[in-house]
Structure 1
């Protein structure tokens, strides 16, 4: 562990070069494709191709495919869709099982094949006609049929935003806004400008600090970017999301560790000293996007992106595995240099696409 920390801390001052960003992204993407059928997080079987874990991987992988233009990545992603007849995963309302829809819509944008998005449109149309009537409270019946945990804000809302963008049908945007506002009213701590993972953590303390899970807030922060990418920057909807985004960005700037990552419990740096790369990569993705889109001040935020990206690269092994990815969970926990997860790779690739642009890549 000491050696990893030493590598990461010594690399923070290194200048970032677009070619080097691309090289490490390729190494990570290729490693993950070669190990796609491995099992992770202590599971005996690999994740189902349509599971949210892989859905988050595809979100980053399709960004990488677009950045590199290499058809091998598009072909790999298309095969996922074809193998599964372009369906979402098995739970109709559950946000996790909508995640893969983000991939399908991006592939539709490239290949213009209606069959890639028809099952997603059909399912979302059904949901709008039969909206879940459940409460946001955690122990109520069918509670996860709505977005009552912060991870959900990465999984499903960007699909609604993408459908709105490609169809121009306001109904998708209206549903997105109604449900997103309900989730934010329930889970967002206005004082801390961070999201609780779910109701169970509201009012709960860990070593005297409020519990704001890094990856959970990473899901939200990256999700905000993926939503805003689909909206008119002059629209009231975009401005709603941007307001939340800026509040979170300001808090993230203040809570980044000296090593460049974010503690697994964002306010608990003193107690969670192990680096964690999935939440941190999502934060770097979001902050770099803000710089690229002119919504964050470069003098203020660029050093955080530089320090963060160099720290993440310091946790990529020689053969391309991203280490220190916290296993599946819902709260701060543990991570190890020799353990990874597919969603960590997705977060890293998402971050890389924005860092590449930020440092002059085309």
Structure 2
């Protein structure tokens, strides 16, 4: 009887373990639900309904980064067409501010559409603007209170927004000038904001030396921006180059730290070192971490034995925060620091992060 009881327990544990490993089919179903819900509600803003985001603003630019990854695996050309229509409507222009990294984000979508359709018009305005920036580089300092500091990458979010555009442009044009500019600016920001002891980035200079409940302040989504940006940059570079090795070193340091500070529930706290003070789930930063870690395993950079379980745990947590109608909940509103999130509030960049995560978790569990 005792033997039979142990067998039942072991079977039950195996069933639970199996249930926690999603199938490629399950992952695509969840991604489709979230993508379709977001497109249906695209003109709405859940942080501030009275002020919806411009289609070219960074909020939507981050959505498109994930939507491109979903479109590539969706077996449905309508997602590509949806993004293509946006580009055509705005004549393939970047957003308003010439130097500001946020307003470059949509360029990532343009370059992916160019790769699919081969129409040079899709990237010509980006090339023209980036050439101007290179030949008229911003002279401002990275210090947060100096004038025009955001004409450079003076806050960590910027490392997701603009550098991957430069890396992609380098890849599609073979013009090394784009890579060199990106390297110089990325290094400057990293030297300024990266905490070598914690292997995490401060959001900007104003958080360096500040404490929250006695812990250093490393914003969850801020570091999510960086980590996802690193994966998207590495994807464009030749692994044999010194540039690739530079980014890889930072990526590995962050990856190691991230699995050390993952919450028992599977997400990451809004203040990465302050789990007990920020127990509320947050799905945008956590989805970016999930994407970056899964990408590393899939590309043979991270050891699956060490990193796969944290990725699966994180993905299952993200899926558990999707509402019945397909909305990804617990996305922290627009901000610059740890804050609050709610189960019934979302944001487009959270959807983009989730779709990015799904695209790599799908491969990790055998999806083709």
Q: Could you tell me the TM-score, scaled by structure 1's length?
A: 0.96
Q: Does 2:275 align with 1:269? A: yes
Following superposition, the deviation at residue 213 of structure 1 comes to 0.3
Partner of 1:90: 96
Match of 1:14 in 2: 20
1:154 and 2:160 equivalent? yes
Could you give the per-residue CA deviations for residues 284-311 of structure 1, whole angstroms, max 9, x where no partner exists?
0000000000000111000000000000
- 2:361 equivalent to 1:360: no
Paired residue for 2:58, among 29, 48, 52? 52
Q: How far apart, CA to CA, are the structure 2 residues paired with 1:15 and 1:89?
A: 40
Give yes or no for the alignment of 1:226 onto 2:235. no
CA distance in 2: counterparts of 1:323 and 1:183, whole angstroms = 31
Shift of 1:45: 2.4
Q: TM-score, normalised by structure 2?
A: 0.95
Structure of higher RCO (CA pairs closer than 8 Å, 6+ residues apart): 1
Matches within 5 A, 1:124-273: 124-273=130-279
Measured after TM superposition, the shift of residue 68 of structure 1 is: 1.4
Deviation per residue, 1:100-139 (Å, 9 max, x gap)? 0000000000000011000000000000000000000011
Q: C-alpha displacement at 1:46, in angstroms?
A: 1.3
Which position in structure 2 is the counterpart of 1:3? none
1:70 paired residue among 59, 67, 76: 76
Q: Which runs of 5+ in 2 are unaligned?
A: 1-15
Moved runs in structure 1, 4+ residues, more than 2 A? Answer: 10-13
In structure 1, distance between residues paired with 2:223 and 2:263:
16
User: Alpha-carbon deviation of 1:42?
Assistant: 2.1
Task: Provide the alpha-carbon RMSD of the alignment.
Answer: 1.0
Q: Of the candidates 9, 21, 25, which is equivalent to residue 31 of structure 2?
A: 25
Aligned length: 353
- Higher gyration radius (CA): 2
Whether the 8 Å CA contact 1:12–1:306 is kept in 2: the answer is no
CA contact (8 A) 1:50 1:97 kept: yes
Structure 1 counterpart of 2:127? 121
Structure 1 stretches lacking a partner, 5+ long: 1-9
Q: How big is each residue's C-alpha offset from its partner over 1:285-341, in whole Å with a ceiling of 9 and x where there is no partner?
A: 000000000000111000000000000000001110000000000000000000000
